[in-house]
Amino acid sequence: MGANSPDSLTPAIAADHPGVGELFAALAYGEISAFYRLAEDAQMSPTLQGKVALASMAAAEMSHFETLQSALTARGHDVYSAMKPFVAALDDYHASTHPSTWLESLVKAYVGDGIAADFYLEIADSLDPSVAAVVREVLAETGHSEFVVHEVSAAVRSSTQEKDRLMLWGRRLLGEAITQAQYVMAQRQDLTELVITASGDLSGIAAMFDRMQERHAERMTVLGLV
């Protein structure tokens, strides 16, 4: 929870805060890049079931993209121009965390999406309800993670070596995600101001990253990576 708890009367960040468009745009490009990463990673799937599971996850990202596109259009933004500032950071994140095995791609889909969702949901608590509703809608669980949890936890139960590898992989995903998030914020003033307001102050941001790290550890536990 941010500086502004959900039961406050007035959210800290008004619906017309200039960072809101940037927030939606960052989320929108996140959906597009996640779509293509999932579609590409699915080629490593040893089974048709795995291919279908990743394709379903990818399709859910596109439905979220459409929600964000409508929200941006309603605010007078062109989604393509708005997304441009976030292309490099998100492409860099995916390039620096390119999975080399099917299990790595499953862990990335689950853990990477989880880290992003934590970050945006922390901020949502301080947003005007109309804005927070869009953020929560596009970050809602799509019910496709069961497949990932089942596949990964079964694999790591039967191989300590695989488990050690994937634990390191999870740590790397967290590190790269935080690096890229900080890089984005350093470049976009309105968005940075929004995140600082949502967190209260700079020490609030540090506390937020601590909470994200805890939730990351919880997700790793769910996958059997502990």
In the complex, the residues that contact a copy of itself under the rule CB under 8 A are 32, 35-36, 39-40, 42-43, 48-49, 51-52, 55-56, 58-59, 61-63, 65-66, 80, 83-84, 87
Amino acid 12 reads: A
Least separation in angstroms between residue 5's CB and a copy of itself is 36
Least separation in angstroms between residue 80's CB and a copy of itself is 5
Task: Between 51 and 215, name the residue whose CB sits nearer to a copy of itself.
Answer: 51
Task: Between 36 and 186, name the residue whose CB sits nearer to a copy of itself.
Answer: 36
CB atoms within 10 A of CB 131: 24
Task: Between 65 and 169, name the residue whose CB sits nearer to a copy of itself.
Answer: 65
Least separation in angstroms between residue 145's CB and a copy of itself is 16
To the nearest 10°, report the CA torsion of 171, 172, 173, 177: 110
Task: Between 66 and 218, name the residue whose CB sits nearer to a copy of itself.
Answer: 66
Task: Between 166 and 184, name the residue whose CB sits nearer to a copy of itself.
Answer: 184
Task: Between 50 and 170, name the residue whose CB sits nearer to a copy of itself.
Answer: 50
State how far Cα 186 lies from the chain centre. 18
Enumerate residues 6+ apart whose C-beta is below 8 A from 125. Answer: 1, 2, 4, 5, 6, 132, 198
Least separation in angstroms between residue 110's CB and a copy of itself is 19
Q: Which is nearest to 220 in space by CA: 181, 174, 161?
A: 174
CA atoms of 97 and 120, how far apart (whole Å) = 20
Write phi, then psi, for 194 (nearest 5 degrees): -60, -45
Least separation in angstroms between residue 12's CB and a copy of itself is 32
* Residue 21 near residue 72, CB atoms below 8 Å: yes
* Residue 79 near residue 72, CB atoms below 8 Å: yes
Least separation in angstroms between residue 154's CB and a copy of itself is 18
